[in-house]
Amino acid sequence: MPKITFLPTRLSATPITLEIPKGANLMEAATDAGLPMGDACGGNCACASCHVYIIKGFDSLNTLEDQEDDVLGFAEDIREESRLACQVIVGAEDLTIEITDESQVAFANEHPEHREQISPR
Ligand code: FES
């Protein structure tokens, strides 16, 4: 199973590595693991709150489709390695993921019960 490493977040000062089966949805895996990733539209490719950077393994992922590309246009600080996690299907390779600060702030706004755990930057 591919190993997915999430770089430190506002909730964790150390990286978190998960083993996720090939074919899994990246956002569902991250949110199931309690990682601070926004999911405002419920994974329907309509909000960009799940914006992540694919630091390693980008080419092993499914292709970015037109709708994802359009919605990514609403995200802040878009880079070549940007994807919407709700549209990412994990491939056979290990990944390294950075959850954007924008996405972590969206998580805090969507989940007020975790706000006190989210460290400010
Ligand atoms: S959760 Fe809204 S675009 Fe991914």
Asked if the structure places residue 121 within a domain, the reply is: no
Is residue 108 in contact with ligand 1, taking CB distance under 6 Å? no
In whole angstroms, what is the distance from residue 50 CA to residue 62 CA? 16
Kindly report the average pLDDT of the chain as a whole number. 94
Kindly report the CATH number assigned to the domain that includes residue 48.
3.10.20.30
- CA 83 – ligand 1 centroid, Å: 10
Asked if the structure places residue 82 within a domain, the reply is: yes
pLDDT digits (tens, 9 = 90+) for 25-45: 999 999 999 999 999 999 999
Number of domains present in the structure of the chain: 1
**pTM, to two decimals:** 0.94
Cα angle 42-44-45, degrees, rounded to a multiple of 5 = 120
Of ligand 1's listed atoms, the one at least distance from the Cα of 38 is 1
* DSSP category for residue 101: H
Asked if the structure places residue 109 within a domain, the reply is: yes
| Beta carbons of 6 and 30 less than 8 angstroms apart | yes
pLDDT digits (tens, 9 = 90+) for 53-90: 999 999 999 999 999 999 999 999 999 999 999 999 99
Tell me the residue range of the domain where 97 lies.
Answer: 3-113
Q: How far is CA 13 from the centre of its chain?
A: 17
